[in-house]
Amino acid sequence: MTRGDQIIKARRPLHTDCANVLGVRVDAINMDLAIGAINSTLESGIKGYICVTGVHGVMESQRDFVLKEIINNAFLVTPDGMPTVWVGKLQGYSQIGRVYGPDLMLEVCRMSVEKGYSHFIYGGKIGVAEELATKLNELFPGIKITGTYTPPFEPLTKDEELKVVKLVNGGKPDIIWVGLSTPKQEKFMAEFIHKLETKVMLGVGAAFDVHTGHINDAPIWMKNTGLQWLHRLWQEPRRLLKRYLINNPKFIYKISLQFLGAKKYSLSTR
């Protein structure tokens, strides 16, 4: 099976409602709908990956067609940031609400204890995956975590890939949490969804650092007003300054052209 085939076959549309954010598919859902969809997926046994996508993912997709194709063929694409929610509402989807990666992780873990679903944690800096497993065990007594793995910064070698497959498939987790940041986590999920014995892979990026205390989460008012990026920038200026200074103005410019009808963006991946 080719990588392209993997991407196409990973898509399992849940419904027809989705916002078009610069040609990136964002499902018009909220947290309750997302949890219901994930539970239905797990119960049915359908394999798929889930992208948690905000402005950063949308703008990276403008430069990287492979990433855009991966996101648009995901089983589910959640609106991670308020700008994607606002675009969805302006396009007529009143039910759309923010499905923030760290919050989604907690809600899925809470649901999984009741349902008996198991988890594998993949990603983060050295030691973070293990810290996250400890934290989730504290928050959700009885949660089933089959293992953790911290990959090297560089692409996996053949031996490392075989090690990951053996480690994950030994526990056959229902859910794999991937914390590699965009676009690495999306590309990893698209490539490995058919290699690993799991049902759902979720790319949640900063959730690993948020829940282990390596990053402080923003106050609710900053999240609701779309200013969370400023809170993140204050904590990680060297890493995020260039991203926000370039991406945010470009996003505003491009989305304005889309709404004015001056620029058309297709959701088609072909």
Cross-strand bridge partners of residue 20 = 25
Q: How far apart are the C-alpha atoms of 189 and 202, rounded to whole Å?
A: 8
CATH annotation of 22-212: 3.40.50
Cβ-contact 179, 208 below 8 angstroms: yes
Q: How many CB atoms lie within 10 A of CB 202?
A: 26
Q: Quote the DSSP letter at residue 195.
A: T
- Whether the CB-CB separation of 179 and 151 falls below 8 Å is answered with no
Rounded Cα–Cα distance for residues 198 and 228 (Å): 32
Over its C-alpha atoms, the chain yields an Rg (Å, rounded) of 18
Determine the pLDDT at residue 153: 85
pLDDT confidence of residue 227: 79
How far apart, in Å, are the Cα atoms of 138 and each of 12, 132, 198?
33, 10, 24
Under a CB-based contact definition with an 8 Å cutoff, are residues 99 and 224 in contact?
Answer: no
Length of the chain: 270
Q: Which residues does residue 221 pair with via DSSP β-bridges, in sequence order?
A: none
Domain assignments of the chain as residue spans, ordered by start: 22-212, 222-260
Per-residue pLDDT in tens (0 to 9) along the chain, 270 residues: 334 444 444 445 455 689 999 999 999 999 999 999 999 999 988 899 999 999 999 999 999 999 999 999 999 999 999 999 999 999 999 999 999 999 999 999 999 999 999 999 999 999 999 999 999 999 999 999 999 999 998 889 999 999 999 999 999 999 999 999 899 999 999 999 999 999 999 999 889 999 999 888 878 888 888 878 787 888 888 877 878 888 899 999 999 999 999 999 988 755
Q: Is 143 left (phi over 0), alpha (psi -120 to 50) or beta?
A: beta
81 closest CA partner among 267, 222, 246: 222
The pLDDT of residue 1: 35
**44, 199 contact by CB (below 8 A):** no
Residues 6+ apart with CB under 8 A from 24: 53, 57, 58, 61, 68, 71, 72, 77, 267
Distance CA 239, CA 210 (A): 16
Provide φ and ψ at 53, rounded to 5°: -120, 130
Query: How far, in Å, CA of 58 to CA of 21, rounded?
Result: 7
